[in-house]
Amino acid sequence: MTSLADVVRFLDTELRTSEVPDYDAAKNGLQLANAGSVTKVAAAVDYSVQTVAGALASGADLLLVHHGMFWPGAEPVVGAAYERLKAAISGGLAVYSSHLPLDLHPTLGNNALLARELGLAPSETFGDYKGMDIGVMGAGDVETATIFERLRSFSERFRTTAVATSLAAGRRTRRWAVITGAGANSESIAECADRGVDTLIVGEGAHHTAVSAMERGLVILYGGHYATETLGVKALADHVASRFGLAATFVDFPTGL
């Protein structure tokens, strides 16, 4: 039997949980304790009624998530909020959340793993947030349509349709950047211009990000928020399982976004 406290210490150290700045609602780290032991680890992108149920059905007593219990902000513990909390507590399910600390991890992070999934080799970091880079970037010479086809195929596994801005025939990518999730915004587009990035690969972005990209000759490939953030929690659960001799599972509940 593995101590929950040992697993939490391992995760906090591996992810540098206390060092990485994040949004207030992230509340990275252990968000819900159980009786103190772990026998099986489940991973999910989001903490929800469905993922709590999936974790419990698998026999897990620790759920690792990217978007945690407090992501929507403070809310009354009624309705779905009550049901998911009640199920987790009564089922002895501890919850550990890691948002930006997981995104930027050099080997387990969403950004590094998505780049690898697309056949890209990062050589630098990208995407400044409060003085810390969240994403990755690199150089090469590959047809942009090839990268997009790989992204489209990956996204379809999670019932998501990838979208590209103004992808001209024969266009080549020579400098790219990856920021998973809501990675397309005014700041990342400006950084692309400053650093000579011609192709930005993200999960999602507002409509204006596509307009801004087309004005600047930048191509943005949107792979879906959910799809692009499945890789990190999967890898993290496997890493914990390997370290402590536990079983691990992934609770897949796509949002379609």
pLDDT in tens, 125-142: 999 999 999 999 999 999
What number does CATH give the domain 2-98?
A: 3.40.1390.30
Burial environment of residue 133 by CB neighbours within 10 A (0 to 12, 13 to 18, 19 or more): middle
Give rounded-to-5 percent helix, strand, coil for the chain: 40, 25, 35
Residues 221-249 have pLDDT tens digits of 999 999 999 999 999 999 999 999 999 99
The CATH H-level superfamily of 104-228 is NIF3 (NGG1p interacting factor 3)-like (3.40.1390.30)
Three-state DSSP state, 239: helix
- Examine domains 2-98 and 104-228 and report if their fold is the same: yes
Q: What is the pLDDT of residue 118?
A: 98
Residue 45 near residue 229 (C-beta atoms within 8 A): yes
Taking the model in full, what pTM does it have?
0.96
Q: What is the pLDDT of residue 167?
A: 86
Average pLDDT of the residues in 81-100: 97
In the chain, where are the structural domains located? 2-98, 104-228
pLDDT of 64 over the 80 cut: yes
